[in-house]
Amino acid sequence: MQSFQFAWLLCLVSLVVNPVVASDLLMPIRIETGLIEGTINQEGNVIVFKGIPYAAAPEGDLRWREPQPALKWDGIRRADSWGASCVQPASSLLPPYTAEFASTNLTSEDCLFLNVWTPSRTATEPRAVLFYIHGGSGTRGSGSISIYDGEELAKKGILVVTVNFRLGIFSGMGHPELTKESPHGSCGNYGMLDLIAALRWVQANIAAFGGDPKKVTICGQSSGSVAMHYLTTSLLAKGLFRSAIGVSFPYDYLTKRHAIGNVWQKEQEGLKFAMAKNAKSINDLRRIAASELIAADPAVGSFTRSCLSGSPNIDGWSFIDKYPEALDKGLASDVPILTGMTVDDFGPPAEYTQTTVTNLSAVLPSMFGEKRQEFEKHQPTFMASHTIATDQDARRFAKQIQVEYRLFDILRWAKRRSQTATTPVYTYLFEQAIPWPQHPRYGSFHSSDLVYWFNNLKQLDRPWTEVDRRIADQASSYWVNFVKTGNPNGEGLPEWLPLHLDRPTTMAIRADLGEREIAAKERLEFYQTVAVPLER
């Protein structure tokens, strides 16, 4: 009897000293496929579940098929290690991208896993969920990359889900036999269908982790942002989320002709690919090793670019129209969107460019891409209205024009969206550069803002300052507020105004955080003059 009382007393003391042991989430929890158990962080306030299968392994006969249900298991599955990343070329790790930005673990076709970070203490109400889609041009990436670690965001009271999905040719392959196999007459959208399957998994299972399936925010960066925007136009994804975040989305997608086509075009690309691989049928292709399919092959040539792309094609089922047309027809989910870019997304800081007074007139047109010729027609008048005295003036002016025009692209997208949508858009320009004394020329480069949004400065060995830590805390708090409510504003943060189409400003994420003009009125009018009409 005394030993029982002593054991009971020890248990009571442990609950007082470390109350998280009382949390249901430390016990095995049940999801559709079985019992699962995560691991708790050192502070005892976040539990992570790694490598949860949300669909069956898309290998063998399931290669290039729509995602199938995950297999069930007996007993308790220990979710304490990452699942394999999807098949992809080896990371080159060229600066500024160090190992923290790259997928470095095992790759396999058996890769349809996701990861969940959740506060260890259950709340009185289910918590909102951030569903993060990695970038990588549709050919690289993983949900296990260290800068996407969700622990710090979970500490602020939300759940974080990161996901793997098929990449490259395993995502975008088309072929007449694949269309015939599909009950929906679809092919080449496998990566996007994986994401929809993962979102459905969230709807069915996230409550077991303390999450609210009615409060899901989809978030993507770079090509992941492209995927996010397309998900807003898919009828299959309707109702699976209530808000969206787009990090460094290339909004000039609305003004240029890109590789997104239809099923027939995908089929023709796939036939050429099969011929180059000496494959007479899709089953012949399924027997070829994954490593051989992604190997550099001169016989394949450039025609595989869209075949390898993770961008969706119009199949009349998962996607029924191109993104711009879907906006015009009101097919896109009308949800609040938070979106923007880094100040050096499209080039280095001004002081590290080769622009001079002499070559400025040649440099500027290149910033307008496909609008270059239109810009050149108006360039003499435009340049006559500005005084550029020194090379430093030239560099700063060129950078300013580049950034303003990219922000103008976002404004054009928002105006087009407003014709059929009523929910707000919040935009930003991320100006804080990672402190990197060895490589200052990279500035606030593409993807560098993610370590701030995720509040993950600890994942990078850099000489962080108090300003960096403050910005990371503020940026991540904006994200958490937006995930919780559809509005980034909250106590202790400078007000973030929704985009006003007639008086456009954007939130500048920098030391003196606050709203800034997109551009002076006369320059906005000029950008509208030189811009190629939006594709219809």
Q: Name the residues annotated as catalytic.
A: 222
Q: Compute the 3-state secondary structure of the chain and give helix, strand, coil in percent, each to the nearest 5.
A: 40, 15, 45
DSSP secondary structure letters along 411-435: HHHHHHHTTT--S-EEEEEE-PPPP
- As a whole number of angstroms, the distance between CA 304 and CA 393 comes to 43
**Checking DSSP bridges between strand 514-517 and strand 505-509, what pairing results, if any?**
antiparallel
Q: Which amino acid is at 52?
A: I
Q: Which amino acid is at 234?
A: S
DSSP secondary structure letters along 290-339: HHHHHS--TTT-GGGTTTS--S--B-SSS--S-HHHHHHTT-S----EEE
- As a whole number of angstroms, the distance between CA 533 and CA 536 comes to 9
Residues paired with 30 in a beta bridge: 35
Q: What's 508's DSSP letter?
A: E
In this structure, what are the phi and psi dihedrals at residue 469, rounded to the nearest 5 degrees?
A: -65, -40
- 430: nearest Cα among 452, 408, 412, 410: 452
**Checking DSSP bridges between strand 76-78 and strand 34-37, what pairing results, if any?**
parallel
CA dihedral (308, 309, 313, 318) in degrees, to 10, reads: 100
Give residues with Cβ within 8 angstroms of 156, minimum separation 6.
455, 476, 477, 480
Give residues with Cβ within 8 angstroms of 406, minimum separation 6.
251, 341, 345, 346
In this structure, what are the phi and psi dihedrals at residue 409, rounded to the nearest 5 degrees?
A: -60, -40
**What's the Cα-to-Cα distance from 239 to each of 170, 190, 215, 246, 503, rounded to whole Å?**
27, 20, 10, 18, 32
- As a whole number of angstroms, the distance between CA 253 and CA 270 comes to 24
- 156: nearest Cα among 180, 176, 130, 132: 130
423: how many CB neighbours lie within 10 A of its CB?
16
Does residue 320 contact residue 314 with C-beta atoms inside 8 Å? Answer: yes
Angle at 21 between CA 154 and CA 8, to 5 degrees: 170
